[in-house]
Amino acid sequence: MSAVATDPATVAQMHALLKTTETLREQASRGQSDAVRAAATEFVASLQPDPNHPDPWMDPLASIRAQAETLATHETDEQAASALAQIARACGDCHVSADVQERVAATLDRGATPALGSTEADAMRVHDWSTQRMWDSLVAPDKDRWVEGTTLFVLLPSCVDLDPANEEHALRCDRARAVARRAHVVSDLDGRTSVMGDLLGTCASCHRAVSAPKG
């Protein structure tokens, strides 16, 4: 148990932060760049500096604001993905300095581990769950969740088995898997933040290709 008393106003603010940043992450993963820029612009406006915050909170808050500004004007999937990963990291930095990691970790619950299965839809449930788990591990921060998330990625069936007819698709899929394998063995926070950005950067191009009109 943490010694710090819970403050309902802060908790409400935290749930709002969590919702906003996860929405941004989901939009970015779907390749909805315009929606990300619009939502991030609102997010920046909502992040007003508050002189009452304790000193150790200032750097994480400034970092979140700077990354939100990047999201509001980003041009590539990679820029957006990297900014999102650094936001998750900054959440974690403040939670460490406020000594509330365990409380945050206990709040973030993604439900049971999904079954591996053998279809593309199964693989996507695993992608989604694992990516969220890795994200949570930065937000809390919580080391075990990183390992849980990356382990499931590594266990996924091979890309060629999922869609043998589509070479370009298999290449994109291999790229995402290669990043996840790299992520599995990274143990420091800087490295994890960077590889989280690389991983999030692989989702959008594939989803755009899937939803593009054929022909």
96 burial (CB, 10 Å; 0-12 / 13-18 / 19+) is middle
Q: Which two tokens stand for residue 94?
A: 């403040």
Give the residue with the Cβ less far from ligand HEC, 19 or 143.
19
Neighbouring CB atoms inside 10 A of 92's CB total: 23
Name the minimum Å distance from CB 203 to ligand HEC. Answer: 3
Name the minimum Å distance from CB 73 to ligand HEC. Answer: 19
Q: What is residue 4's DSSP assignment?
A: S
Applying CB under 6 A, among 80, 87, 126, 183 the residue interacting with ligand HEC is 87
What does the alpha-carbon distance between residue 129 and residue 152 come to, in Å, rounded to a whole number? 9
Residue tagged 């508050």 (tokens): 50
Rule CB under 6 A: is residue 192 a binding residue for ligand HEC? no
What does the alpha-carbon distance between residue 143 and residue 137 come to, in Å, rounded to a whole number? 6
Rule CB under 6 A: is residue 202 a binding residue for ligand HEC? yes
Neighbouring CB atoms inside 10 A of 214's CB total: 3
x/- contact string, 121-150, with ligand HEC (CB under 6 A)? Answer: ---x--xx--x-------x-----------
Q: List residues near ligand HEC by CB under 6 A.
A: 6-7, 10-11, 14, 17-18, 21, 29-30, 57, 60-61, 64, 87, 90-91, 94-95, 98, 100, 103-104, 107-108, 120, 124, 127-128, 131, 139, 169, 172-173, 176, 199, 202-203, 206-207, 210
